[in-house]
Amino acid sequence: MGTGVIDDSLVTLSELYDYNHWVFSTFRRHVEGRVLEVGAGTGNITRFLSMIATEVVALEPVPGFRSEADKCLGHMRHVSSRSGYLHEMAVPAEPGAMFDTVVSCNVLEHIEDDVAALRQMRGQLRPGGKVITFVPAGPVAFGQLDRELGHFRRYTRASLRKAYEAAGLEWVEGRYSNLVGLAGWWFNSVVLRRKHVPVRQAVSFNKLVPLLSAFERMLPMPMGQSVVGVARRPIKE
């Protein structure tokens, strides 16, 4: 996995407030109660989760990323961070230790056995709680950038739903976003075979986010650079 490339991409993303808010807006209405964020990175999405959740536990295995998040969010009493990986977390034994929502943004594509990871997310939830994943979409756009970032796959709505259901979760909904970004990713990753996310392009795109997000709220996208999937843990298992 190209760690240096991941570092650079997270630095770039941390500066794109409008884009990060757009990502959050795609699933905001499904977030409630105690939230576990898997792969919190430097806290780009954590800060938005903190605005509506009663508690946020941000799980991040890379010490440097966790440290950056703590600098910005450490003053919030209802936000805490933990080091480590999802599979290292004990399954809650008491109802009060369970989460209402598990969120992961641009994480699942880095895990070879994504179904196992979704099962582990389910294990952290109360019955009826939701798993929310925001992941890269469009297999046709899989290219050099994906390989450098350590991606195993890009999803379709159907393939994400299949993974959820294989993990024992009940599908709620899935939605594509950022059709314009898909074309740009395909050109940079497949045609130009770039090894880094172009910073100038990312900054320019960030300025277009308000317009694009308004357009996509009115007209659901048939495809996109990303897909958000929502599923719940069955109440009766």
Query: Higher model confidence: residue 14 or residue 121?
Result: 121
The 10 Å Cβ neighbour count of residue 195 is 16
Between 59-63, 204-208, 218-222, the lowest mean confidence (pLDDT) is in: 204-208
**pTM of structure:** 0.90
pLDDT tens for 74-95 read 899 999 999 999 999 999 989 8
Length of the chain: 237
Domain ranges of the chain: 3-232
pLDDT single digits (tens) 168-219: 999 999 999 988 888 888 988 899 998 887 767 766 666 677 677 777 777 7
Averaged pLDDT score across all residues of the chain? 89
For range 124-138, the mean pLDDT: 97
- DSSP string covering 117-166, please? HHHHHHHTEEEEEEEEEEEEB-GGG-SHHHHHTT-S--B-HHHHHHHHHH
Per-residue model confidence (pLDDT) at position 133: 98
For residue 204, the model assigns a pLDDT of: 65
Q: How far is CA 198 from the centre of its chain?
A: 20
Superfamily of domain 3-232: Vaccinia Virus protein VP39 (3.40.50.150)
For residue 140, pLDDT over 90 is answered with: yes
Q: What is the pLDDT of residues 143-162, one digit of tens each?
A: 999 999 999 999 999 999 99
Phi-psi region for residue 29, left (φ > 0), alpha (ψ -120 to 50) or beta? alpha
Per-residue confidence (pLDDT) for residue 187, from 0 to 100: 87
